[in-house]
Amino acid sequence: MRKKILAWVLFLACLFVLSLGSSRYVQVADRALLPARLLLLAGLSVLAAREWWRGRDDVRGAWASPRMDAGDRFLRRMRRWYYGDASGK
């Protein structure tokens, strides 16, 4: 039941954001949503680069064993959500 409610809330939020494009508030919506999108993109890019950098082994050029922390778990959850993978739960 909780997943259905969350799905409906996300659907209605997407419809609301899309409807802003056809209203008189389109410039306000653009100014508000563009920085939010760029911040999300920058944050995920930093986390992805951090994960790649932590996995390197500078001595041999091979990949070290993964060390899990909060950033790694967040990125793994985002990947599973994006690709629709239900494993790992």
Q: What is the pLDDT of residue 87?
A: 64
Average pLDDT score over residue span 12-40: 87
pLDDT tens for each residue of 33-87: 889 889 989 988 988 888 777 766 555 555 555 667 777 788 788 878 878 876 6
This prediction has a pTM of 0.50
Give the domain ranges of the chain: 2-83
Q: What is the pLDDT of residue 8?
A: 92
Write the CB contacts of 54 (distance below 8 Å, at least 6 apart in sequence).
64, 67
Cα(78)–Cα(84) distance, rounded to whole angstroms? 10
Write the CB contacts of 75 (distance below 8 Å, at least 6 apart in sequence).
44, 47, 48, 51
Q: What is the pLDDT of residue 1?
A: 80
Q: What angle do CA 83, 42, 25 make, to 5 degrees?
A: 90
